[in-house]
Chain A
Amino acid sequence: MRFPVWLRPVLFILALLALWEIAIDLHPGQLMPGPVAAFAAIGELLQHGLLLKHVVASLFRVTWGFLLACVTAIPLGLVLGWYRRGERAFNPLVQLFRPISPLAWIPIAILWFGIGDLSSIFLIFVGSFFPLLVTAISAVHNIPEVYINAGRNFGLSSVDFFVRVIYPAVVPQLLVGMRITLGIAWLVVVAAEMIAVNSGLGFLIVDARNAGNRYDLVVAGMIVIGVIGLLLDLGMRALERVKSFQWTNQEN
Chain B
Amino acid sequence: MALPGIAIPDQAAAPKLQVTNLGVVFQGNDKTIAALDNINLEISDGEFVCLVGPSGCGKSTLLNAMGGFLSPTSGSVSIDGELVSGPDSRRILVFQEHGVFPWLTVEGNIGFGLAKLSRSERAQRIAHYVELVQLQGFERSYPSDLSGGMKQRLQVARALAVNPDVLFLDEPFGALDSITRVMMRGELLRIWQAERRTILCVTHDIDEAVQLADRVVVLSSRPARIQNVLTIDIPHPRNISSPRYLTLRDELLKMIGLAYEI
Instruction: Kindly state the separation between the CA atoms of A47 and B113 in the bound complex, as whole angstroms.
Output: 60
Q: Are A250 and B115 in touch, CB under 8 angstroms?
A: yes
- Asked if B162 and A251 sit within 8 Å, CB to CB, the answer is no
Q: Which of A152, A169, A251 contacts B108 (CB 8 A)?
A: A251
- The answer to whether B98 touches A152, judged by C-beta atoms less than 8 angstroms apart, is no
Q: Once the chains bind, are A154 and B89 in contact (CB under 8 Å)?
A: yes
B115 touches A247 (CB 8 A): no
- Please pick, from B101, B113, B114, the residue contacting A147 in the complex, using a CB distance under 8 A: B101
Closest to A249 in B: B108
Contact B107 A251 (CB under 8 A): yes
- A168-B89 in contact (CB<8A): no
Chain B: residues with Cβ within 8 Å of the partner, total of 27
- What band does the interface of chain A fall in when counting residues whose beta carbon is under 8 Å from B? 20 to 34
Contact of A160 among B67, B101, B114, B115 (CB under 8 A): B115
Query: Among the listed A154, A243, A247, which residue makes an inter-chain contact with B113, where contact means beta carbons less than 8 Å apart?
Result: A154
Q: Is residue B245 contacting chain A, with contact meaning CB distance below 8 A?
A: no
CB of B108 within 8 A of CB of A252, answer: yes
A31 contacts B by Cβ under 8 Å: no
15 more A-B residue pairs beyond the given contacts A153-B67, A165-B101, with a C-beta to C-beta distance below 8 A = A144-B98, A146-B95, A146-B99, A147-B101, A152-B69, A153-B69, A153-B88, A153-B93, A155-B87, A155-B89, A155-B113, A160-B115, A244-B103, A244-B142, A252-B111
* Complex alpha-carbon distance, A226 and B67, angstroms: 55
Q: Which residues of A contact B199 (CB under 8 A)?
A: none
Instruction: Evaluate contact between B93 and A252: CB separation under 8 angstroms.
Output: no
Q: Which A162-221 residues sit within 8 Å CB-CB of chain B?
A: 164-165, 168-169, 171
Interface string of B62-85 (1 = CB under 8 A from A): 000001010000000000000000
Chain A residues within 8 Å of B, Cβ to Cβ: 144, 146-147, 149-150, 152-155, 160, 164-165, 168-169, 171, 243-244, 247, 249-252
A222 to chain B, nearest CB (A): 40
Query: Measured between C-beta atoms, what is the minimum distance from B144 to chain A in Å?
Result: 7
- Could you say which of A144, A152, A169, A243 contacts B87, with CB atoms under 8 Å apart? A152
A243 CA to B103 CA, complexed, in Å: 8
Q: Closest 10 interchain pairs by CB? A: A251-B111, A168-B103, A154-B113, A247-B103, A251-B108, A152-B87, A155-B89, A154-B89, A146-B95, A153-B87
Closest chain A residue to B162, Cβ basis: A154
B113 contact set on A, CB distance < 8 A? 154-155
Contact B92 A153 (CB under 8 A): yes
Q: Which of A149, A154, A252 has a CB less than 8 Å from the CB of B95?
A: A149
